[in-house]
Amino acid sequence: MKNALVSIVVLFLCANAIANHPTNIESMIKQKELETIIAELKSKAAADQHARIEKGVVQAASFWRAEDGSADDFKQLCMEQSAVDAAQRQAMFVRIQDNFELLFGSFNKVNVGLKIPLHVDEGEILPIDRIFGGYGVGSHFSDDMFANKIAFITILNFPFFSLDEKMEHGPKWSRLEWAYARMGDVFKSRIPARLLLDYEQIVTDADAYISDYNIYVGNLTDKKGNTHFPTDLKLISHWGLRDEIKANYANKEGFIRQSLIYETMLNIIRQNIPGEVINNPDYQWNPMSNTLLKNGVAVAHTPEPDTRYQHMINLFGLLKQIDAYSPHFPDYISRKFEEDMELRVEEVESLFVSLISTPELKEIGKVIEKRLGRKLQPWDIWYDGFKTRASLDISKLDKILQEKYPDKTAFEADLPNILIKFGFDADSARTISSRIIVDPSRGAGHAWGAAMKSDKARLRTRIGTNGMDYKGYNIAIHEFGHNVEQTISLQNVDYYMLNGVPNTSFTEALAFVFQARDLELLGMEQSDEMSKHLAALDNLWSNYEIMGVSLVDINTWKWLYAHPDATAAELKEAVNSISKEIWNKYYAPVFGVKDTPILAVYSHMIDYPLYLSAYPIGQLIEFQFGSHIHGKNFADEVYKAFTQGRLIPQLWMKGAVGTEISALPAIEAARTALNAVRSSGQ
């Protein structure tokens, strides 16, 4: 599940824009003036500061505007604030770092608090809650820091290094030099506070739309008017609907239930869904014929008015305004990948295509057909039968878990025991758990990390009135993995500026590692050689699904930039077309079914665009990390990997497992697994 710490990105949008020469506004500091300033600073500074002075002065000058003062004012600032030697620079770094922790941590804590009514299932959401939840308390940070000159001082002493420079020099940098480089990432643009506030509100509105998008599947009917789900079952789109498909492979009514959910998903994607059935238990609905029923009688309905796509248009419009302040990363796509993920979008797409094109997937499809005793259906992209849990009765699991965790307090109290089962010692388990708060979630669930050592991370999952069911537990274990990463990579990293992980894929990786062992924690996991082979097939099949979804997300944003004036209706048609095209190219050859837009169902596209790629990269990392730690002490390897902090992705991977991110290990493991499964006749 998505890491909600990503929301604090809005506070750092000022740090996600420009490479070597930031801003699209011509600098008022002329070249000759720059040369004079640099020469004077170098004459007073130690030789080891000269390269930094050249870089820092040029970058700081590129931000200087008339409202900041004259050219002489800029020169005076440089003369007074540029460090003359390594000791002075390090002292300045420590002071700035400590203050950034206080600022960023406080912003994060306030944002978490303002969003509690929207995110936590405790009482009615009032109209004013959405306004408070949409307020970005750190939105004026960039404006304020440039106005009081702290931004210029930081840039002058800790200039920005491009991704190419980090890749070239990073392997030779010390931990302190890496921390300096990350401080250089803080100020790379001057995005007006009004845009940051607008962005926060638009994201909050989109997130609220998704969080309240529930379908009462107990009211879904087949063509004969029969219902097939528990009467009071309410599922959020897309997570709950998808997970219900997964849960029904061992159910005797599984096929019809899966068919009804699949048709529901198609209606959501196409926006044919009656508005009356969204988050409303008062109607019955046949999603196959799109017939709305009231007390058993067909009634007229009003389709949802492309709201799904209007939220995407709203986000695109705001992010395109931010583009004007990001000339070296001129669109959201390049900022999201090259700046945020520190992986180029072309590199990510190539990685994904290499996996979803592999011939082993067609062979896995045949294995699934044999196990199901039928032809593949499009929803079998979520086939869950390779997992041990697929053979278990989920209703029995629900009862066990509802008794074990009747409320959030019971689950929170058990966190240390869960960590001990994972191999953490008692002291570490207590320490980590003491820094995590559990909340009942309105949405599917998420993890929101702290941003200063004195604060705590938040774990959110759905907890019903009868307690936590298996879906809630499975999500909770995933989110707990996020929280463990968030805690270790904040509390146990040597420099605050290095806290965190290279990008969200890495926190997803640990969350997946935790989630994959959820049954083991309950004493229900059956571990043998064949189960490992089945897990390898499951891993490749799962990557197959989410990589296609991610490619839809990427290509949607490419389409938006090619059609900047598009309406919600036009975007809807484009998304349906893009998803069908990707399906037909990479999935129809395996499934034998063409022209389904099912890959466009993920809600992340609405409120967290271009986040989806973090999942498959995370799964690849999970597989490599899981293979690396096999037979080793789990807790030791987690600490070793995640105390590295926020290096660039490939360097972090080398430090954690010895190799870069690759799809090849997952493909090779699946190839071996297929041979074993064929030999066993499974």
Domain count across the chain: 4
612 occurs within a structural domain: yes
Q: What is the DSSP letter of 327?
A: T
Q: Is the pLDDT of residue 212 over 80?
A: yes
* Tokens standing for residue 211: 């969080």
- Answer yes or no: do 314 and 251 share one domain: no
Q: Name the residue among 296, 308, 273 with its Cα closest to residue 219.
A: 296
109 occurs within a structural domain: yes
Cα–Cα distance for residue pair 242/262, rounded to 1 Å: 9
For the chain, the C-alpha Rg in angstroms (whole number) is: 26
Q: Is the pLDDT of residue 681 over 80?
A: no
**CA distances from residue 350 to 69, 577, 605, 617 in whole angstroms, order as listed:** 47, 21, 21, 12
- Answer yes or no: do 314 and 426 share one domain: no
207 occurs within a structural domain: no
208 occurs within a structural domain: no
Q: If you average pLDDT over every residue of the chain, what do you get?
A: 92
Q: How confident is the model at residue 7 (pLDDT cuts 50, 70, 90)?
A: very low
344 occurs within a structural domain: yes
pLDDT digits (tens, 9 = 90+) for 491-531: 999 999 999 999 888 998 899 889 988 999 998 876 678 88
Contact 188, 22 (CB under 8 A): yes
- Cβ contacts of 314 within 8 Å, gap of 6 or more: 202, 205, 206
Contact 452, 104 (CB under 8 A): yes
Q: Domain range for residue 87?
A: 4-191
197 occurs within a structural domain: no
Percent of the chain with pLDDT over 90: 79
Q: Is the pLDDT of residue 1 over 60?
A: no
pLDDT of residue 188: 84
Cα–Cα distance for residue pair 585/599, rounded to 1 Å: 13
Question: Domain ends where: 261, 281, 305?
Answer: 305
Contact 47, 27 (CB under 8 A): no
Percent of the chain with pLDDT over 70: 94
Contact 275, 305 (CB under 8 A): yes
Q: What is the maximal distance between C-alpha atoms in the chain?
A: 87
- Answer yes or no: do 538 and 468 share one domain: no
Long-range Cβ contacts of 244-249 (<8 Å, 24+ apart): 244/217, 245/379, 245/382, 246/382, 246/383, 246/384, 246/390, 247/384, 247/394, 247/470, 247/471, 249/372, 249/383, 249/384, 249/385, 249/390
* Tokens standing for residue 419: 């960590």
For 286, phi and psi rounded to 5 degrees?
-100, 105
**CA distances from residue 443 to 220, 263, 295, 349, 579 in whole angstroms, order as listed:** 21, 22, 29, 30, 25
- Answer yes or no: do 186 and 150 share one domain: yes
Contact 470, 401 (CB under 8 A): yes
Positions of E strands within 315-365? none
Rounded average pLDDT over 306-325: 95
- Answer yes or no: do 299 and 314 share one domain: no
- Cβ contacts of 123 within 8 Å, gap of 6 or more: 117
90 occurs within a structural domain: yes
- Answer yes or no: do 354 and 408 share one domain: no
Contact 100, 58 (CB under 8 A): no
**Degrees (nearest 5) of the Cα angle 144, 150, 153?**
150
Contact 184, 160 (CB under 8 A): yes
Q: Is the pLDDT of residue 583 over 90?
A: yes
pLDDT digits (tens, 9 = 90+) for 640-653: 999 999 999 999 99
- Answer yes or no: do 672 and 542 share one domain: yes
- Answer yes or no: do 96 and 175 share one domain: yes
**DSSP state string for 193-262:** HHHHHHHHHHHHHHHHHHHT-EEEGGGBB-TTS-B-S-TT-EEETTHHHHHHHHHTTTSTTHHHHHHHHH
- Strand partners of residue 464: 467
- Answer yes or no: do 332 and 296 share one domain: no
Q: How confident is the model at residue 235 (pLDDT cuts 50, 70, 90)?
A: very high
Helix, strand, or coil here: 657?
helix
pLDDT of residue 16: 34
Question: Domain ends where: 521, 551, 580?
Answer: 521
Q: How confident is the model at residue 9 (pLDDT cuts 50, 70, 90)?
A: very low
**CA distances from residue 582 to 17, 599, 682 in whole angstroms, order as listed:** 30, 8, 30
- Answer yes or no: do 568 and 501 share one domain: no
Rounded average pLDDT over 243-251: 92
* Tokens standing for residue 246: 């997964």
